[in-house]
Amino acid sequence: MAGPTKETDEVRQGTTGTGTRYVFAISFAAVIILLFAVAWAFFGPPKMGMENAQTGVTQDNPATIPPVETPDWQEPAPVQNPSR
């Protein structure tokens, strides 16, 4: 004895055709973009080993000029102990 049969749309308790999957997909994509934006704001752009890529710094062309060392003959004489 089979009871009355209902179609799928009659048995389903939710409404159909509202585009819920699209709202979910767009919201998920927006959250991912927002998380990347927040990470960029707090930590800056990612470091990919490109810190000196466009600086033109080479061994022949250093970024800073090293200090010039004074020769020994220009250093002040040591202080002598007068108690001897």
Question: What is 46-66 written as a DSSP string?
Answer: PP-S-TTTTS---SSS-SSPP
Q: How many CA atoms lie within 13 A of 63 on its CB side?
A: 7
Q: What is the mean pLDDT of residues 11-26?
A: 84
- 17 vs 83 pLDDT, higher one: 17
What is the rounded distance in angstroms from the CA atom of residue 23 to the CA atom of residue 25? 6
pLDDT in tens, 48-83: 666 656 556 666 666 666 667 766 666 666 677 766
pLDDT at 29 over 90: yes
pTM over 0.85: no
